Structure 1
Amino acid sequence: MEISLVTAFLGGMLALLSPCSALLLPAFFASTIGARLKLLVHGSIFYLGLILTLVPLGLGLGAVGTLFIDHRQALIVGTSVILILLGLAQMVGLGFDFSKALPGTQRLQQQAHTRKGLVRTFLLGAASGVAGFCAGPILGAILTLAVAQGSVPLAGLMLAVYGAGMVVPLIILAALWGRIGTRSMRFIRGRGFTVLGRQLHTTSVIAGALIAGVGVLFWTTNGLVTAPSLVPSETQGWLQAMSSSVSGPVADILLILGISAAILLVWAVNRRSSVRAQERAPDTRKETLR
Protein backbone atom coordinates (compact mmCIF):
# COMPACT_ATOMS: atom_id res chain seq x y z
CA MET A 1 0.00 0.00 0.00
CA GLU A 2 2.84 2.40 0.86
CA ILE A 3 4.39 1.88 -2.58
CA SER A 4 1.06 2.77 -4.19
CA LEU A 5 0.85 6.01 -2.19
CA VAL A 6 4.46 6.94 -2.99
CA THR A 7 3.79 6.22 -6.66
CA ALA A 8 0.66 8.40 -6.53
CA PHE A 9 2.58 11.30 -4.97
CA LEU A 10 5.45 11.04 -7.46
CA GLY A 11 2.92 10.73 -10.27
CA GLY A 12 1.34 14.03 -9.21
CA MET A 13 4.75 15.72 -9.18
CA LEU A 14 5.64 14.40 -12.62
CA ALA A 15 2.22 15.39 -13.97
CA LEU A 16 2.88 18.96 -12.82
CA LEU A 17 6.32 18.93 -14.46
CA SER A 18 5.14 17.22 -17.67
CA PRO A 19 6.36 18.79 -20.94
CA CYS A 20 2.88 19.98 -21.96
CA SER A 21 2.37 22.06 -18.82
CA ALA A 22 5.90 23.47 -18.91
CA LEU A 23 5.46 24.83 -15.34
CA LEU A 24 2.55 27.03 -16.40
CA LEU A 25 0.75 26.57 -13.08
CA PRO A 26 3.70 27.61 -10.86
CA ALA A 27 4.34 30.61 -13.12
CA PHE A 28 0.66 31.58 -12.95
CA PHE A 29 0.55 31.35 -9.16
CA ALA A 30 3.82 33.25 -8.78
CA SER A 31 2.72 36.11 -11.04
CA THR A 32 -0.88 36.54 -9.88
CA ILE A 33 -0.69 35.83 -6.13
CA GLY A 34 2.69 36.99 -4.89
CA ALA A 35 2.56 37.02 -1.06
CA ARG A 36 3.48 33.69 0.53
CA LEU A 37 0.60 33.60 3.02
CA LYS A 38 -1.80 34.35 0.20
CA LEU A 39 -0.06 31.68 -1.85
CA LEU A 40 -0.75 29.09 0.86
CA VAL A 41 -4.43 30.06 0.93
CA HIS A 42 -4.74 29.79 -2.85
CA GLY A 43 -2.76 26.54 -2.80
CA SER A 44 -5.21 25.07 -0.27
CA ILE A 45 -8.20 26.17 -2.35
CA PHE A 46 -6.53 24.73 -5.47
CA TYR A 47 -6.06 21.41 -3.65
CA LEU A 48 -9.70 21.47 -2.57
CA GLY A 49 -10.70 21.81 -6.21
CA LEU A 50 -8.39 18.95 -7.12
CA ILE A 51 -9.73 16.49 -4.56
CA LEU A 52 -13.36 17.34 -5.30
CA THR A 53 -12.66 16.11 -8.84
CA LEU A 54 -10.13 13.35 -8.24
CA VAL A 55 -11.36 11.68 -5.04
CA PRO A 56 -14.90 10.87 -6.31
CA LEU A 57 -13.25 9.42 -9.41
CA GLY A 58 -11.03 7.27 -7.21
CA LEU A 59 -13.94 6.19 -5.00
CA GLY A 60 -15.92 5.11 -8.04
CA LEU A 61 -13.03 3.08 -9.43
CA GLY A 62 -12.39 1.60 -6.00
CA ALA A 63 -15.99 0.40 -5.96
CA VAL A 64 -15.42 -1.19 -9.37
CA GLY A 65 -12.31 -2.89 -8.00
CA THR A 66 -14.28 -4.53 -5.19
CA LEU A 67 -16.27 -6.41 -7.84
CA PHE A 68 -13.10 -8.27 -8.89
CA ILE A 69 -11.94 -9.41 -5.44
CA ASP A 70 -12.86 -13.00 -6.29
CA HIS A 71 -10.69 -12.75 -9.43
CA ARG A 72 -7.62 -11.24 -7.78
CA GLN A 73 -5.04 -13.05 -9.91
CA ALA A 74 -6.63 -11.84 -13.14
CA LEU A 75 -6.85 -8.33 -11.67
CA ILE A 76 -3.14 -8.40 -10.81
CA VAL A 77 -2.13 -9.55 -14.28
CA GLY A 78 -4.42 -7.05 -16.01
CA THR A 79 -3.24 -4.18 -13.82
CA SER A 80 0.41 -5.04 -14.40
CA VAL A 81 0.01 -5.22 -18.17
CA ILE A 82 -1.89 -1.91 -18.30
CA LEU A 83 0.73 -0.20 -16.12
CA ILE A 84 3.59 -1.44 -18.30
CA LEU A 85 1.81 -0.34 -21.49
CA LEU A 86 1.01 3.09 -20.02
CA GLY A 87 4.61 3.42 -18.88
CA LEU A 88 5.90 2.67 -22.37
CA ALA A 89 3.41 5.12 -23.88
CA GLN A 90 4.56 7.81 -21.46
CA MET A 91 8.21 7.17 -22.28
CA VAL A 92 7.76 7.61 -26.03
CA GLY A 93 5.57 10.69 -25.63
CA LEU A 94 2.17 9.19 -26.43
CA GLY A 95 -0.66 10.73 -24.43
CA PHE A 96 -4.35 11.43 -24.09
CA ASP A 97 -6.49 13.99 -22.30
CA PHE A 98 -8.94 12.65 -19.70
CA SER A 99 -10.75 15.99 -19.57
CA LYS A 100 -12.26 15.36 -23.01
CA ALA A 101 -13.91 12.17 -21.75
CA LEU A 102 -15.35 13.65 -18.55
CA PRO A 103 -18.46 15.84 -18.91
CA GLY A 104 -18.25 19.37 -17.58
CA THR A 105 -14.46 19.67 -17.52
CA GLN A 106 -14.25 21.95 -20.55
CA ARG A 107 -16.85 24.21 -18.96
CA LEU A 108 -14.81 24.36 -15.74
CA GLN A 109 -11.76 25.44 -17.71
CA GLN A 110 -13.71 28.20 -19.44
CA GLN A 111 -15.18 29.47 -16.18
CA ALA A 112 -11.74 29.44 -14.55
CA HIS A 113 -10.52 31.94 -17.16
CA THR A 114 -13.46 34.28 -16.60
CA ARG A 115 -13.50 34.33 -12.76
CA LYS A 116 -11.12 35.99 -10.34
CA GLY A 117 -9.68 35.41 -6.89
CA LEU A 118 -10.25 32.22 -4.90
CA VAL A 119 -13.14 31.16 -7.12
CA ARG A 120 -10.81 31.09 -10.11
CA THR A 121 -8.23 29.12 -8.12
CA PHE A 122 -10.87 26.60 -7.02
CA LEU A 123 -12.17 26.08 -10.57
CA LEU A 124 -8.62 25.85 -11.91
CA GLY A 125 -7.88 23.08 -9.42
CA ALA A 126 -11.07 21.22 -10.29
CA ALA A 127 -10.13 21.27 -13.98
CA SER A 128 -6.37 20.70 -13.65
CA GLY A 129 -6.60 17.31 -11.96
CA VAL A 130 -7.74 15.51 -15.11
CA ALA A 131 -6.45 17.86 -17.82
CA GLY A 132 -3.26 17.53 -19.81
CA PHE A 133 -2.30 15.45 -22.84
CA CYS A 134 1.20 14.60 -21.59
CA ALA A 135 -0.01 13.63 -18.10
CA GLY A 136 -2.78 11.34 -19.39
CA PRO A 137 -0.82 8.07 -19.05
CA ILE A 138 0.32 9.10 -15.54
CA LEU A 139 -3.24 9.69 -14.35
CA GLY A 140 -4.32 6.53 -16.16
CA ALA A 141 -1.72 4.54 -14.21
CA ILE A 142 -2.88 5.98 -10.87
CA LEU A 143 -6.50 5.22 -11.74
CA THR A 144 -5.50 1.66 -12.67
CA LEU A 145 -3.78 1.23 -9.31
CA ALA A 146 -6.88 2.64 -7.62
CA VAL A 147 -9.00 -0.10 -9.19
CA ALA A 148 -6.48 -2.73 -8.14
CA GLN A 149 -6.72 -1.69 -4.47
CA GLY A 150 -10.09 -3.42 -4.20
CA SER A 151 -11.05 -0.90 -1.52
CA VAL A 152 -13.12 2.25 -1.87
CA PRO A 153 -11.36 4.28 0.91
CA LEU A 154 -7.86 3.32 -0.24
CA ALA A 155 -8.66 4.21 -3.84
CA GLY A 156 -9.96 7.62 -2.77
CA LEU A 157 -6.85 8.13 -0.63
CA MET A 158 -4.60 7.36 -3.60
CA LEU A 159 -6.21 10.09 -5.70
CA ALA A 160 -5.98 12.55 -2.79
CA VAL A 161 -2.25 11.79 -2.51
CA TYR A 162 -1.90 12.21 -6.28
CA GLY A 163 -3.40 15.70 -5.92
CA ALA A 164 -1.03 16.47 -3.05
CA GLY A 165 1.84 15.49 -5.32
CA MET A 166 0.75 18.27 -7.66
CA VAL A 167 0.11 20.92 -5.00
CA VAL A 168 3.25 20.61 -2.86
CA PRO A 169 5.78 21.33 -5.65
CA LEU A 170 3.38 23.91 -7.10
CA ILE A 171 3.47 25.99 -3.90
CA ILE A 172 7.22 25.54 -3.44
CA LEU A 173 8.06 26.53 -7.02
CA ALA A 174 5.68 29.51 -6.95
CA ALA A 175 7.19 30.74 -3.66
CA LEU A 176 10.74 30.46 -5.03
CA TRP A 177 9.92 31.53 -8.58
CA GLY A 178 11.85 34.80 -8.45
CA ARG A 179 14.95 33.08 -7.07
CA ILE A 180 15.12 30.19 -9.54
CA GLY A 181 17.98 30.74 -11.95
CA THR A 182 18.09 29.81 -15.60
CA ARG A 183 20.16 26.68 -15.03
CA SER A 184 17.84 25.43 -12.27
CA MET A 185 14.79 26.16 -14.40
CA ARG A 186 16.20 24.12 -17.26
CA PHE A 187 16.87 21.24 -14.86
CA ILE A 188 13.34 21.32 -13.47
CA ARG A 189 11.76 21.49 -16.92
CA GLY A 190 13.94 18.70 -18.24
CA ARG A 191 15.15 18.56 -21.81
CA GLY A 192 14.33 16.87 -25.06
CA PHE A 193 16.54 14.38 -26.86
CA THR A 194 16.28 12.18 -29.92
CA VAL A 195 16.44 8.38 -30.01
CA LEU A 196 16.11 6.55 -33.33
CA GLY A 197 14.63 9.63 -34.92
CA ARG A 198 11.93 10.09 -32.24
CA GLN A 199 11.86 13.13 -29.98
CA LEU A 200 11.71 12.17 -26.30
CA HIS A 201 11.74 14.17 -23.07
CA THR A 202 13.55 13.40 -19.83
CA THR A 203 10.50 14.02 -17.61
CA SER A 204 8.32 11.73 -19.71
CA VAL A 205 10.96 9.01 -19.75
CA ILE A 206 11.37 9.16 -15.95
CA ALA A 207 7.60 9.07 -15.43
CA GLY A 208 7.19 6.19 -17.87
CA ALA A 209 10.00 4.21 -16.27
CA LEU A 210 8.37 4.71 -12.85
CA ILE A 211 4.98 3.51 -14.11
CA ALA A 212 6.42 0.48 -15.94
CA GLY A 213 8.60 -0.36 -12.91
CA VAL A 214 5.55 -0.33 -10.63
CA GLY A 215 3.78 -2.57 -13.15
CA VAL A 216 6.60 -5.13 -13.01
CA LEU A 217 6.73 -4.87 -9.21
CA PHE A 218 2.97 -5.29 -9.01
CA TRP A 219 3.23 -8.50 -11.03
CA THR A 220 6.17 -10.00 -9.12
CA THR A 221 4.89 -9.19 -5.62
CA ASN A 222 1.33 -10.51 -5.99
CA GLY A 223 -0.20 -7.05 -6.18
CA LEU A 224 2.40 -5.49 -3.80
CA VAL A 225 1.37 -7.90 -1.03
CA THR A 226 4.89 -9.31 -0.66
CA ALA A 227 6.63 -6.01 -1.44
CA PRO A 228 8.89 -4.66 1.33
CA SER A 229 7.15 -2.19 3.60
CA LEU A 230 8.36 1.41 3.49
CA VAL A 231 6.86 2.17 6.91
CA PRO A 232 7.87 0.30 10.11
CA SER A 233 5.27 -2.07 11.53
CA GLU A 234 5.04 -0.04 14.76
CA THR A 235 4.16 3.08 12.78
CA GLN A 236 1.61 1.15 10.73
CA GLY A 237 -0.04 -0.09 13.93
CA TRP A 238 -0.21 3.44 15.30
CA LEU A 239 -1.73 4.75 12.08
CA GLN A 240 -4.31 1.97 12.04
CA ALA A 241 -5.23 2.71 15.65
CA MET A 242 -5.58 6.42 14.83
CA SER A 243 -7.69 5.74 11.76
CA SER A 244 -10.01 3.41 13.68
CA SER A 245 -10.41 5.97 16.47
CA VAL A 246 -11.60 8.68 14.07
CA SER A 247 -13.93 6.45 12.09
CA GLY A 248 -17.65 6.38 12.58
CA PRO A 249 -20.51 8.87 12.61
CA VAL A 250 -18.42 11.64 14.19
CA ALA A 251 -15.87 11.52 11.39
CA ASP A 252 -18.64 11.52 8.79
CA ILE A 253 -20.26 14.57 10.38
CA LEU A 254 -16.91 16.40 10.52
CA LEU A 255 -16.27 15.58 6.86
CA ILE A 256 -19.69 16.90 5.84
CA LEU A 257 -19.15 20.06 7.90
CA GLY A 258 -15.72 20.57 6.33
CA ILE A 259 -17.05 20.27 2.80
CA SER A 260 -19.96 22.56 3.64
CA ALA A 261 -17.59 25.15 5.12
CA ALA A 262 -15.43 25.03 1.99
CA ILE A 263 -18.47 25.54 -0.25
CA LEU A 264 -19.65 28.44 1.92
CA LEU A 265 -16.18 29.98 1.78
CA VAL A 266 -16.11 29.86 -2.02
CA TRP A 267 -19.65 31.29 -2.14
CA ALA A 268 -18.74 34.11 0.27
CA VAL A 269 -15.63 35.02 -1.69
CA ASN A 270 -17.58 34.97 -4.94
CA ARG A 271 -20.31 37.18 -3.46
CA ARG A 272 -17.72 39.58 -2.06
CA SER A 273 -16.07 39.85 -5.48
CA SER A 274 -19.46 40.59 -7.07
CA VAL A 275 -20.23 43.31 -4.50
CA ARG A 276 -16.86 44.93 -5.11
CA ALA A 277 -17.45 44.84 -8.86
CA GLN A 278 -20.81 46.52 -8.40
CA GLU A 279 -19.28 49.19 -6.16
CA ARG A 280 -16.57 49.95 -8.69
CA ALA A 281 -19.06 50.21 -11.57
CA PRO A 282 -20.43 53.68 -10.58
CA ASP A 283 -16.89 55.04 -10.17
CA THR A 284 -16.01 53.80 -13.62
CA ARG A 285 -19.10 55.44 -15.08
CA LYS A 286 -18.24 58.77 -13.37
CA GLU A 287 -14.71 58.72 -14.80
CA THR A 288 -16.16 58.00 -18.23
CA LEU A 289 -18.53 60.98 -18.00
CA ARG A 290 -15.70 63.26 -16.98
Structure 2
Amino acid sequence: MFGIDILDASLLPALLVALIAGTLSFLSPCVLPIVPPYLAYMSGISVGEMKQGRAPVLAALFFVLGLSTVFLLLGAAASAFGALLLGYTDMLSTVAGVVVMIFGAHFLRIFRIPLFDREARLDAPAQGGSALGAYALGLAFAFGWTPCIGPQLAAILTLAAQEGSVERGAVLLAAYALGLGIPFMAVALFMGRMTPVMAFFKRHMERIERISGLMLWTIGLLMLTGGFSAFSYWLLEHLPFLAEIG
Protein backbone atom coordinates (compact mmCIF):
# COMPACT_ATOMS: atom_id res chain seq x y z
CA MET A 1 0.00 0.00 0.00
CA PHE A 2 2.79 2.41 0.93
CA GLY A 3 5.41 0.90 -1.39
CA ILE A 4 7.29 -0.39 1.65
CA ASP A 5 7.11 -3.50 3.77
CA ILE A 6 5.54 -2.26 6.98
CA LEU A 7 5.25 -5.73 8.49
CA ASP A 8 8.92 -6.53 9.03
CA ALA A 9 10.44 -7.46 12.37
CA SER A 10 10.92 -3.89 13.57
CA LEU A 11 8.22 -1.60 12.23
CA LEU A 12 5.08 -3.51 13.20
CA PRO A 13 5.45 -3.16 17.00
CA ALA A 14 6.84 0.36 16.53
CA LEU A 15 3.62 1.38 14.73
CA LEU A 16 1.54 0.11 17.65
CA VAL A 17 3.78 1.94 20.12
CA ALA A 18 3.58 5.15 18.06
CA LEU A 19 -0.24 5.03 18.02
CA ILE A 20 -0.41 4.56 21.80
CA ALA A 21 2.20 7.26 22.38
CA GLY A 22 0.13 9.72 20.34
CA THR A 23 -2.94 9.04 22.47
CA LEU A 24 -0.97 9.41 25.70
CA SER A 25 0.42 12.71 24.37
CA PHE A 26 -3.15 13.95 23.89
CA LEU A 27 -3.87 13.07 27.53
CA SER A 28 -0.84 14.99 28.82
CA PRO A 29 -1.44 17.89 31.25
CA CYS A 30 -0.54 20.62 28.75
CA VAL A 31 -2.72 19.29 25.90
CA LEU A 32 -5.98 17.88 27.26
CA PRO A 33 -7.12 20.89 29.38
CA ILE A 34 -6.74 23.41 26.55
CA VAL A 35 -8.42 21.44 23.75
CA PRO A 36 -11.93 22.95 24.24
CA PRO A 37 -10.83 26.62 24.25
CA TYR A 38 -8.59 26.09 21.24
CA LEU A 39 -11.43 24.45 19.35
CA ALA A 40 -13.68 27.38 20.30
CA TYR A 41 -11.14 29.94 19.08
CA MET A 42 -10.38 28.14 15.82
CA SER A 43 -14.03 27.59 14.94
CA GLY A 44 -15.35 30.96 16.10
CA ILE A 45 -17.99 29.38 18.35
CA SER A 46 -18.19 29.09 22.13
CA VAL A 47 -17.44 26.03 24.26
CA GLY A 48 -21.07 26.14 25.39
CA GLU A 49 -22.28 25.93 21.78
CA MET A 50 -20.01 22.95 21.19
CA LYS A 51 -21.50 21.20 24.23
CA GLN A 52 -24.94 21.83 22.77
CA GLY A 53 -24.08 20.00 19.57
CA ARG A 54 -22.25 22.41 17.25
CA ALA A 55 -19.22 20.46 16.02
CA PRO A 56 -16.17 22.44 14.79
CA VAL A 57 -15.12 19.56 12.53
CA LEU A 58 -13.41 21.61 9.80
CA ALA A 59 -11.31 23.62 12.26
CA ALA A 60 -10.32 20.48 14.18
CA LEU A 61 -9.42 18.65 10.97
CA PHE A 62 -7.14 21.42 9.71
CA PHE A 63 -5.55 21.80 13.15
CA VAL A 64 -4.72 18.08 13.19
CA LEU A 65 -3.39 18.35 9.62
CA GLY A 66 -1.07 21.13 10.79
CA LEU A 67 0.20 19.00 13.67
CA SER A 68 0.62 16.02 11.35
CA THR A 69 2.61 18.03 8.81
CA VAL A 70 5.24 18.87 11.41
CA PHE A 71 5.36 15.34 12.82
CA LEU A 72 5.75 13.80 9.35
CA LEU A 73 8.61 16.17 8.54
CA LEU A 74 10.28 15.36 11.86
CA GLY A 75 9.91 11.65 11.17
CA ALA A 76 11.42 11.97 7.70
CA ALA A 77 14.31 14.03 9.08
CA ALA A 78 14.98 11.55 11.89
CA SER A 79 14.98 8.65 9.45
CA ALA A 80 17.31 10.47 7.05
CA PHE A 81 19.69 11.12 9.96
CA GLY A 82 19.47 7.47 10.98
CA ALA A 83 20.36 6.41 7.43
CA LEU A 84 23.67 8.24 7.82
CA LEU A 85 24.44 6.11 10.88
CA LEU A 86 23.58 2.68 9.50
CA GLY A 87 27.11 1.51 10.23
CA TYR A 88 26.56 2.25 13.91
CA THR A 89 23.15 0.61 14.35
CA ASP A 90 24.06 -1.32 17.50
CA MET A 91 25.53 1.72 19.19
CA LEU A 92 22.55 3.87 18.15
CA SER A 93 20.12 1.29 19.57
CA THR A 94 21.99 1.17 22.88
CA VAL A 95 22.20 4.95 23.28
CA ALA A 96 18.59 5.42 22.17
CA GLY A 97 17.37 2.76 24.57
CA VAL A 98 19.12 4.39 27.51
CA VAL A 99 17.80 7.85 26.60
CA VAL A 100 14.21 6.61 26.26
CA MET A 101 14.46 4.81 29.62
CA ILE A 102 15.56 8.11 31.16
CA PHE A 103 12.46 9.76 29.68
CA GLY A 104 10.40 6.96 31.21
CA ALA A 105 11.96 7.56 34.62
CA HIS A 106 10.89 11.22 34.34
CA PHE A 107 7.23 10.25 33.95
CA LEU A 108 7.53 7.60 36.66
CA ARG A 109 8.70 10.47 38.91
CA ILE A 110 11.93 8.71 39.83
CA PHE A 111 13.44 12.10 38.99
CA ARG A 112 12.21 15.09 37.00
CA ILE A 113 13.69 16.74 33.91
CA PRO A 114 12.79 20.46 34.19
CA LEU A 115 12.60 20.95 30.40
CA PHE A 116 9.64 18.58 30.17
CA ASP A 117 7.74 20.28 32.99
CA ARG A 118 7.12 23.44 31.00
CA GLU A 119 5.31 24.37 27.81
CA ALA A 120 6.61 26.84 25.24
CA ARG A 121 3.44 27.96 23.48
CA LEU A 122 3.74 29.89 20.25
CA ASP A 123 1.40 32.54 18.93
CA ALA A 124 0.31 31.91 15.37
CA PRO A 125 -1.04 34.46 12.90
CA ALA A 126 -4.36 32.65 12.78
CA GLN A 127 -7.86 34.03 12.55
CA GLY A 128 -10.67 32.37 14.46
CA GLY A 129 -13.12 30.53 12.21
CA SER A 130 -10.61 30.12 9.39
CA ALA A 131 -9.53 26.68 8.16
CA LEU A 132 -6.18 28.14 7.07
CA GLY A 133 -5.82 29.73 10.50
CA ALA A 134 -6.52 26.40 12.19
CA TYR A 135 -3.84 24.78 10.02
CA ALA A 136 -1.35 27.51 10.97
CA LEU A 137 -2.16 26.98 14.65
CA GLY A 138 -1.55 23.26 14.19
CA LEU A 139 1.88 23.99 12.74
CA ALA A 140 2.73 26.39 15.56
CA PHE A 141 1.51 24.25 18.41
CA ALA A 142 3.27 21.15 17.14
CA PHE A 143 6.41 23.03 18.18
CA GLY A 144 4.84 24.78 21.16
CA TRP A 145 3.75 21.52 22.77
CA THR A 146 7.11 19.83 22.21
CA PRO A 147 8.53 20.48 25.72
CA CYS A 148 5.50 18.77 27.28
CA ILE A 149 5.04 15.86 24.86
CA GLY A 150 8.80 15.72 24.25
CA PRO A 151 9.50 12.34 25.88
CA GLN A 152 6.81 10.48 23.92
CA LEU A 153 7.66 12.28 20.68
CA ALA A 154 11.40 11.77 21.19
CA ALA A 155 10.87 8.04 21.72
CA ILE A 156 8.99 7.73 18.43
CA LEU A 157 11.54 9.87 16.59
CA THR A 158 14.25 7.58 17.97
CA LEU A 159 12.41 4.58 16.56
CA ALA A 160 12.09 6.43 13.23
CA ALA A 161 15.82 7.14 13.19
CA GLN A 162 16.52 3.42 13.57
CA GLU A 163 14.43 2.66 10.47
CA GLY A 164 16.94 4.44 8.22
CA SER A 165 14.24 5.12 5.59
CA VAL A 166 12.42 8.41 5.04
CA GLU A 167 9.25 6.57 3.95
CA ARG A 168 9.25 4.27 6.96
CA GLY A 169 9.94 7.14 9.34
CA ALA A 170 7.05 9.13 7.86
CA VAL A 171 4.69 6.15 8.29
CA LEU A 172 5.79 5.78 11.91
CA LEU A 173 5.14 9.46 12.71
CA ALA A 174 1.85 9.24 10.82
CA ALA A 175 0.79 6.61 13.36
CA TYR A 176 1.82 8.95 16.18
CA ALA A 177 -0.16 11.82 14.61
CA LEU A 178 -3.16 9.49 14.24
CA GLY A 179 -3.01 8.59 17.93
CA LEU A 180 -3.01 12.30 18.79
CA GLY A 181 -5.52 13.35 16.16
CA ILE A 182 -8.30 10.78 16.67
CA PRO A 183 -9.17 11.87 20.25
CA PHE A 184 -8.89 15.52 19.19
CA MET A 185 -11.47 14.92 16.45
CA ALA A 186 -13.63 12.95 18.89
CA VAL A 187 -13.77 15.95 21.23
CA ALA A 188 -14.68 18.22 18.31
CA LEU A 189 -17.50 15.90 17.21
CA PHE A 190 -18.90 14.92 20.61
CA MET A 191 -17.99 17.70 23.04
CA GLY A 192 -21.10 17.21 25.19
CA ARG A 193 -20.54 13.48 25.60
CA MET A 194 -16.76 13.79 25.93
CA THR A 195 -16.82 16.36 28.77
CA PRO A 196 -17.23 13.74 31.56
CA VAL A 197 -14.56 11.57 29.93
CA MET A 198 -12.11 14.48 29.80
CA ALA A 199 -12.90 15.33 33.42
CA PHE A 200 -12.10 11.72 34.37
CA PHE A 201 -8.71 11.87 32.66
CA LYS A 202 -7.92 15.23 34.27
CA ARG A 203 -8.56 13.73 37.70
CA HIS A 204 -6.19 10.86 36.94
CA MET A 205 -3.46 12.84 35.19
CA GLU A 206 -0.69 11.61 37.50
CA ARG A 207 -1.64 8.00 36.85
CA ILE A 208 -1.62 8.64 33.10
CA GLU A 209 1.88 10.10 33.40
CA ARG A 210 3.04 6.98 35.19
CA ILE A 211 1.53 4.77 32.47
CA SER A 212 3.43 6.87 29.90
CA GLY A 213 6.61 6.42 31.93
CA LEU A 214 6.18 2.65 32.13
CA MET A 215 5.57 2.49 28.38
CA LEU A 216 8.66 4.56 27.60
CA TRP A 217 10.80 2.55 30.03
CA THR A 218 9.62 -0.65 28.34
CA ILE A 219 10.36 0.76 24.88
CA GLY A 220 13.89 1.63 26.00
CA LEU A 221 14.41 -1.86 27.38
CA LEU A 222 13.18 -3.42 24.13
CA MET A 223 15.62 -1.24 22.19
CA LEU A 224 18.47 -2.47 24.36
CA THR A 225 17.52 -6.14 24.09
CA GLY A 226 16.22 -6.39 20.52
CA GLY A 227 12.77 -7.22 21.83
CA PHE A 228 10.91 -5.39 19.04
CA SER A 229 11.84 -8.14 16.58
CA ALA A 230 10.62 -10.86 18.93
CA PHE A 231 7.39 -8.96 19.57
CA SER A 232 6.77 -8.54 15.83
CA TYR A 233 7.24 -12.26 15.14
CA TRP A 234 4.89 -13.03 18.05
CA LEU A 235 2.23 -10.75 16.55
CA LEU A 236 2.49 -12.33 13.12
CA GLU A 237 2.40 -15.83 14.61
CA HIS A 238 -0.69 -15.23 16.74
CA LEU A 239 -2.45 -12.72 14.43
CA PRO A 240 -1.70 -14.08 10.94
CA PHE A 241 -4.26 -11.77 9.28
CA LEU A 242 -1.77 -8.94 9.82
CA ALA A 243 0.38 -10.44 7.08
CA GLU A 244 -2.33 -9.49 4.58
CA ILE A 245 -2.12 -5.78 5.45
CA GLY A 246 0.07 -3.38 3.44
Establish whether TM, by shorter chain, passes 0.5: yes
Corresponding residue for 2:211? 206
Corresponding residue for 2:132? 119
- Per the alignment, do residues 95 and 20 of structure 1 end up closer, same or farther by CA in structure 2, a change over 3 Å counting? farther
Structure 1 range deviating more: 27-36 or 208-217: 27-36
Which AA in structure 1 matches 2:223?
F
Corresponding residue for 1:285? none
Q: Is the 8 A contact 1:30 1:174 kept in 2?
A: no
Corresponding residue for 2:21? 11
Residue 64 of structure 1: CA displacement? Answer: 0.7
Structure 1 range deviating more: 152-161 or 84-93: 84-93
Corresponding residue for 1:188? 201
Q: Is the 8 A contact 2:119 2:148 kept in 1?
A: no
Corresponding residue for 2:73? 56
Gaps of 5+ in 1: 193-200, 240-290
Deviations 1:8-43 (A, max 9, x none): 111111111111234312453268454979633333
Which AA in structure 2 matches 1:117?
S
Distance in structure 1 (CA, Å) of the matches to 2:244 and 2:204: 43
Which is higher, the Rg of structure 1 or of structure 2? 1
Which AA in structure 2 matches 1:84?
M
Corresponding residue for 2:4? none
Residue 87 of structure 1: CA displacement? Answer: 1.1
Distance in structure 1 (CA, Å) of the matches to 2:149 and 2:12: 22
Residue 173 of structure 1: CA displacement? Answer: 2.2
- Per the alignment, do residues 138 and 191 of structure 1 end up closer, same or farther by CA in structure 2, a change over 3 Å counting? same
- Per the alignment, do residues 177 and 116 of structure 1 end up closer, same or farther by CA in structure 2, a change over 3 Å counting? closer
- Per the alignment, do residues 233 and 150 of structure 1 end up closer, same or farther by CA in structure 2, a change over 3 Å counting? farther
Distance in structure 1 (CA, Å) of the matches to 2:186 and 2:218: 28
Distance in structure 2 (CA, Å) of the matches to 1:158 and 1:95: 28
Corresponding residue for 2:243? 236
Structure 1 range deviating more: 127-136 or 69-78: 127-136
Corresponding residue for 1:169? 183
Distance in structure 2 (CA, Å) of the matches to 1:36 and 1:168: 18
Deviations 1:259-279 (A, max 9, x none): xxxxxxxxxxxxxxxxxxxxx
- Per the alignment, do residues 217 and 149 of structure 1 end up closer, same or farther by CA in structure 2, a change over 3 Å counting? same
Match of 2:168 among 148, 154, 162: 154
Aligned length: 222
Corresponding residue for 1:96? 115
Match of 1:28 among 33, 38, 57: 38
Structure-to-structure mapping, 1:59-138, within 5 angstroms: 59-92=76-109, 94=113, 96=115, 106=122, 109-112=123-126, 114=127, 116-132=129-145, 133-138=147-152
Percentage of identical aligned residues: 25
Residue 125 of structure 1: CA displacement? Answer: 1.2
Residue 48 of structure 1: CA displacement? Answer: 1.9
> 2:222 aligned with 1:217, yes or no?
yes
Corresponding residue for 1:249? none
Distance in structure 2 (CA, Å) of the matches to 1:186 and 1:99: 21
Distance in structure 2 (CA, Å) of the matches to 1:170 and 1:142: 20
Corresponding residue for 1:259? none
Greater relative contact order (Cα < 8 A, sep 6+): 2
Q: Is the 8 A contact 1:89 1:95 kept in 2?
A: no
Q: Is the 8 A contact 2:53 2:191 kept in 1?
A: no
Corresponding residue for 1:261? none
Which AA in structure 2 matches 1:53?
V
